[in-house]
Amino acid sequence: MDNESKGAVAAVKGFFKAVGGFFSSFGTAFAKGDIFVKLSLIWLGAGYVRRKQYAKAIIMTVFEVAVILFSVFFAADYVPKFGTLGTVKAERVFNMATMKSEFNDYDHSFMILLFSLFSFVVWFVAIIVWIKNTINVYNLQVMEENGKHINTFKEDLRSYLEEKFHITLLTLPVLGIVIFTVIPILLLIFVAFTNYDQQHTPPTELFTWVGFTNFITLFGGGGLTATFGYSFIRVLGWTLVWAFFSTLTTYIGGILLSLLLNNKKTRMPKIWRLMFVMTIAVPQFVSLLLVRNFFADSGIVNTICANIGLTGFLRNIGMISTNYIPFLSAPGWAHVMIIIINIWVGVPYQMLIATGVLMNIPEDQLESAKMDGAKPFQIFVKITMPYMLFITGPALVTDFVKNINNFNVIYLLTQDVYTTTNQALANSQAKEVDLLVTWLFRLTQDYYNYKMASVIGIVVFVICSVFTLVAFNFMIGGDKEGTYQ
Q: How far apart are CA 112 and CA 79, in angstroms?
A: 7
- Decide: 403 and 421 in contact? Cβ < 8 Å: no
DSSP structural state of residue 23: H
- Angstrom distance (rounded) from CA 339 to CA 418: 15
Q: Which is nearer to other proteins, 36 or 82 (CB)?
A: 82
Cα(311)–Cα(298) distance, integer angstroms: 12
Q: From the CB of 159, what's the least distance to other proteins, in Å? A: 10
- Between CA 350 and CA 293 the distance in angstroms is 26
Q: What sign for the dihedral angle of Cα 34, 39, 44, 47?
A: negative
* 19 vs 150 by CB, closer to other proteins: 19
Closest CA to 235 of 51, 463, 483, 10: 463
Beta strands in 286-345 (DSSP E): none
Calpha distance 412→338 (Å, rounded): 11
In total, the chain counts a number of residues equal to 485
* In the complex, minimum distance from the CB of residue 463 to other proteins, in angstroms, rounded to a whole number: 10
> Minimum distance between the CB of residue 69 and other proteins, rounded to whole angstroms?
21
Give, in order, the Cα–Cα distances in Å from 301 to each of 284, 294, 346, 417. 20, 6, 22, 16
Q: In the complex with other proteins, which residue's Cβ is closer, 22 or 212?
A: 22
Whichever of 69 and 175 has its CB closer to other proteins, that residue is 175
The SS3 assignment for 194 reads strand
Residue among 330 and 388 whose Cβ is closer to other proteins: 388
Q: Closest CB to other proteins among 129 and 280? A: 280
Closer CB to other proteins, residue 50 or residue 292?
Answer: 292
Least CB distance to other proteins at residue 5 (A): 5
Q: Which residues contact 426 (CB under 8 A, 6 or more apart)?
A: 420
- Considering the complex, state which of residue 141 and residue 350 has its C-beta at the smaller distance from other proteins: 350
**Closest approach of other proteins to the CB of residue 117, in Å:** 10
Residue 92: helix, strand or coil by DSSP? strand
* CA atoms within 13 A of residue 223's CA, in its CB half-sphere: 4
Per the CB < 8 A criterion, the answer to whether 193 and 210 are in contact is yes
**Shortest Å, Cβ 50 to other proteins:** 27
For the CB of residue 56, give the shortest distance to other proteins in the complex, in Å. Answer: 21
Give min distance, CB of 199 to other proteins, in A: 17
